[in-house]
Structure 1
Amino acid sequence: MVATSSSAEASRRPAAWIALALFWAAFAYLWVWPWFRPRGEYLWGHVQLRDIYFGIPIAAATLCLTIVICCRARARRSVALRLAAVTVPTIALLFIFDAVYTFGYLKIWRTNYYFDLAKVSRRYNAIDEELGFKRLARVSWRGRKSAETGEVYFRTDENGFRNPPGIERADVVFIGDSYTEAAELPEEQTFVRRVAQATGLRAVNLGVGAYGPQQEEVVLRRYALAYRPRVIVWQLFEGNDLLDAQGYAKWRESPTRPYLPLAARYFNNSLINEWFARTRLRAPERNLAPATIHYTDGTVRELFIRYPYLPDQPVQKVWGFEETKRALEAGTRLCRERGIELLVVHVPVMVRVMAPFVTFAREADRGRFLPGEVVQSEGDFESELGRFCHQIGCSYIGLFPVFRQEAARDNRGLYIPTDEHLDARGHAIVARTIGEWLAQSNELNYSK
């Protein structure tokens, strides 16, 4: 009987060792080989997300099988049962929790242009039938948007905007995109708060990153008017507002269109993806231009430039410009009906302001990003926007001359090089310029 048992044990050993070898081979392929032959963005540019999904159960199974085989023959069955009782439910609960979080909390079964294509986070935002998406109310987070920025405490009020809770009245309401919301900087450094501090006026920030002109007009109508302001400041950005306007118009034409397959939406928003997001190394986008910026203090910074200066942008993106004009005209009419003064403020792209200090790595990129060395044209977005604002009777400030003058004196601190949003000094310049305009406004009893 003993001989028969020993013979059976011996016959099982080769199969067990073969199984172990196969598991170790799978483990090596998923977790080891990518460090020699990178094939994805995660773990600092080495593995794909699907490698992690398959790799977690494979790693657990490999470890458990190794422990079982290395045990004494008499204890293997007991050890295997104990490991299975712990490992299988743990792995199952992990993936079940991941699925519940992704499908139940983030609702990835609902397709959305902004979540699926514009990379807006589902975690802090909700689908809105008119705006596309909006920030969740009364949420907060603390962290850095990039290595170039300090730690920021970000919070939203009862309407989902970046303000302290409980603001019911405001003298000045600011609407705009990420340049107004300014998640890269502490609240007190944004031009919204700087204007309030410098003037003593009550101000509220209704800017939202990734919003375009039509959504900002909705914000004006739905939220800004409720504060009964005397002035509304509407910020527009040269880099992507016309493109955002076109994107919004396309979304409105077919709001329920599935932009990504369900599997892609799942992996992009999963909890496991969130856990490993900090290890994700993103490759530079193809449309970015490698360049060098020379600062006035003698320091040099290599970077990739995102937003070009397009002297004929209103013609290139005529649909977006028409949508922008329609939104501005509607907003101007609403303000005029209620006796509110509207000020439109245009923020220029970084490459245009810093043109004298930029050296491109490729000559072709200079032609794409600064065509013909032009930095101010009669047909560009800033000039055409100013002309249209004059036509419909709203006030307008194009910030390029101010920023170019400041850059000639000291070009540091105007923009954050990694993402080209305004840095602290850039916000201070915007606030000063708006403050000077407010001092001359007929709607406000304010003087500097």
Structure 2
Amino acid sequence: MTIPVTPIYSAPRMDQTGSDKIAKHYQRGLPLITGLALAAMGGGLGLILQPSSQSLLFWLGVIAVLGGLIWASLAAWLPQGPVLRFVGWLTGNLIVFTLMLGLAEGGFRLAGVNFNNLTGQTDDPRAHYPLCLRMPDRPLGEIYFTRAGPLTWTGRPLSTFLKINHGTDSAYEDEAEFTAHYDANGFRNPNDQTDWQAVVVGDSFTESGALPYEQIFTTVAAQGSGTSIRNLGVCNTGTLAHLEYLRRFGKGPSTHRAILAFYEGNDILDTEEEQSHLQQYRDSGWRPDRTPRPQTSLIKASYQVAKHLISRTPAIRYQNAWLTTATPEIPITIRGAPMPLDPESFSSAQKALLDDVIHQWAQTCTRLELEPWLLYIPANNRTYHGLVRFTPDAEATLREWQPGTLPTYMQELCTRQNIHFINAYPVLRNSAESGSLVYNRILDTHLNQEGSRLIGELLAKHLSDAKTGSLEKTRP
């Protein structure tokens, strides 16, 4: 006799219908949730970070939002079948790949692997630029920078700069190679210079990195006047930095005159930025940092390699005008944004800042027992205005720009502070009207050899007049 045995517990059997239901939920639910999450993440980061519409982060956010919504729509609307099964399978594998990529990204960052050493890139994006066009990166004082001298650079700076920027203009084929030397403090002076009678402080127009030492206007002025001159010019600097250079490096045993070389093209804007950084430092102790950072991101390295393999930077023509006073007309670049400012459009803050830094220049010179001068250097927009014919594709802002009254405004500020004012515009303009180039032709719009010579001779005349006691005749 057989006795039936009833089990205490029996697991329910999953029939084919139940299994199909789970698979269907997986195929539709996973891509639906993933797509919505991706769109929400892209939109949320955009709202929080608010990146510029020109940035890579902005477009990655746009792609995340649109891609996520499209993916979620496919999951919601596709009928059950092989296409929906593929979407679900692909979503699962993409999630696994993303997790693995995230783990790899975090691991490489923690290990400090520098992918620039593997991809041939550089930690400093401007390392291949001519030395005169690189940002100074040695910290000085509160928020300022100089170059870490002594330094040398040999090459053809203008043609190198044009090549790096993929220029097609034929402008510098005959440029001669030379070696630029910088002293221990990062300025273009002889290493053995221990004393000088005058000091010139300014930005890249004073540094004149695209010219050999003997062609810099400070060298020309020294030779023409018999006055020894120290050059304290550094690119990407404003008047507050120039004041710092004067205080730290400007005073020698025989120095009795200090000249601020004021470039109208961007000195006001650079000074505004320095003032903002200085205020941040005083409020919070924050300092700007220009130390090159190693590239430890696997994702960024992959993007850089892919971009290099599949894309080519288009060649660019930088000519936007012709100098019509020359025969034949000469193709040139008229300087673009930022354009020289007009005092008529100054904000109250800009007026106050400019008045303050000119006052500081006079006061600092007085404390150092130096006679304060200011050399006004115009941008090529002003010097060439009315003497050019623009190309058809030249920007409207270039065509419409009109010279303002900034030279007169600066002269009045100097007069109130008893600062000797020298305006370089007339000599540059007269030469341009006769058909001569006084700035570099294409892309770079700094002074060329001729423009530097003219300013050097003008400064030499004023220095010679000061020696003979006839300087009063040249005061404003």
| Pairwise TM-score range, normalised by the shorter structure | 0.5 to 0.7
5 Å matches for 1:27-426? 95=115, 97=117, 121=134, 125-147=137-159, 148=172, 149-226=175-252, 228-254=254-280, 256=286, 290-301=320-331, 303=333, 305-306=335-336, 310=340, 312-313=342-343, 315-316=345-346, 318-361=348-391, 365=395, 368-369=397-398, 371=400, 374-375=402-403, 377=404, 380-426=405-451
- Which of the pair has more CA radius of gyration? 2
C-alpha spacing 1:314/1:183, structure 2 compared with 1 (3 Å): farther
Q: Which runs of 4+ in 1 moved over 6 A?
A: 257-260, 262-267, 282-285, 443-446
Q: TM-score, structure 2 length as denominator?
A: 0.59
Whole-Å Cα distance in 2 between the matches of residues 369 and 418 of structure 1?
A: 14
Whole-Å Cα distance in 1 between the matches of residues 207 and 398 of structure 2?
A: 26
C-alpha spacing 1:441/1:310, structure 2 compared with 1 (3 Å): same
1:131-166: per-residue Cα shift (whole Å, max 9, x none)?
A: 432101211111222223542312211211111102
1:208-249: per-residue Cα shift (whole Å, max 9, x none)?
A: 111101100111111102454121111011111111111112
Whole-Å Cα distance in 1 between the matches of residues 260 and 158 of structure 2?
A: 26
User: Which amino acid counterpart does residue 393 of structure 1 have in structure 2?
Assistant: N
Aligned to 1:440: 465
CA deviation after TM superposition for structure 1 residue 181, in Å: 0.4
1:42-86: per-residue Cα shift (whole Å, max 9, x none)?
A: xxxxxxxxxxxxxxxxxxxxxxxxxxxxxxxxxxxxxxxxxxxxx
Aligned to 1:85: none
Gaps of 5+ in 1: 1-91, 109-118
User: Which amino acid counterpart does residue 438 of structure 1 have in structure 2?
Assistant: L
Partner SS, residue 232 of structure 1: strand
Partner SS, residue 193 of structure 1: helix
1:377-416: per-residue Cα shift (whole Å, max 9, x none)?
A: 4xx2211111000001110012222221221123224444
C-alpha spacing 1:351/1:96, structure 2 compared with 1 (3 Å): closer
Aligned to 2:93: none
CA deviation after TM superposition for structure 1 residue 266, in Å: 7.1
Partner SS, residue 419 of structure 1: coil
C-alpha spacing 1:257/1:224, structure 2 compared with 1 (3 Å): closer
Whether the aligned pair in 2 keeps the contact of 1:415 and 1:426 (CA below 8 Å) is: no
C-alpha spacing 1:221/1:266, structure 2 compared with 1 (3 Å): farther
Partner SS, residue 193 of structure 2: coil
User: Which amino acid counterpart does residue 218 of structure 1 have in structure 2?
Assistant: E
Aligned to 1:428: 453
Whether the aligned pair in 1 keeps the contact of 2:277 and 2:288 (CA below 8 Å) is: no
User: Which amino acid counterpart does residue 423 of structure 2 have in structure 1?
Assistant: G
Aligned to 2:30: none
Greater shift after overlay, 247-256 or 303-312?
303-312
Q: How many residues align?
A: 326
User: Which amino acid counterpart does residue 343 of structure 1 have in structure 2?
Assistant: W
C-alpha spacing 1:257/1:440, structure 2 compared with 1 (3 Å): closer
CA deviation after TM superposition for structure 1 residue 303, in Å: 3.6
Greater shift after overlay, 289-298 or 309-318?
309-318
Whether the aligned pair in 2 keeps the contact of 1:239 and 1:308 (CA below 8 Å) is: yes
5 Å matches for 1:21-32? none
Partner SS, residue 255 of structure 2: coil
CA deviation after TM superposition for structure 1 residue 301, in Å: 0.7
User: Which amino acid counterpart does residue 319 of structure 1 have in structure 2?
Assistant: A
Partner SS, residue 466 of structure 2: coil
Aligned to 1:77: none
Whether the aligned pair in 2 keeps the contact of 1:292 and 1:301 (CA below 8 Å) is: yes
Greater shift after overlay, 318-327 or 242-251?
318-327
Whole-Å Cα distance in 1 between the matches of residues 439 and 358 of structure 2?
A: 27
CA deviation after TM superposition for structure 1 residue 444, in Å: 7.8
CA deviation after TM superposition for structure 1 residue 442, in Å: 5.2
Whole-Å Cα distance in 1 between the matches of residues 147 and 203 of structure 2?
A: 13
Whole-Å Cα distance in 2 between the matches of residues 266 and 444 of structure 1?
A: 63
User: Which amino acid counterpart does residue 430 of structure 1 have in structure 2?
Assistant: I
Whether the aligned pair in 1 keeps the contact of 2:143 and 2:278 (CA below 8 Å) is: no
Whether the aligned pair in 1 keeps the contact of 2:201 and 2:246 (CA below 8 Å) is: yes
The alignment-based identity, stated in percent, is 21
Q: TM-score, structure 1 length as denominator?
A: 0.62
Whole-Å Cα distance in 2 between the matches of residues 342 and 150 of structure 1?
A: 36
C-alpha spacing 1:168/1:156, structure 2 compared with 1 (3 Å): same
C-alpha spacing 1:245/1:317, structure 2 compared with 1 (3 Å): farther
Whether the aligned pair in 1 keeps the contact of 2:152 and 2:181 (CA below 8 Å) is: yes
User: Which amino acid counterpart does residue 331 of structure 1 have in structure 2?
Assistant: W
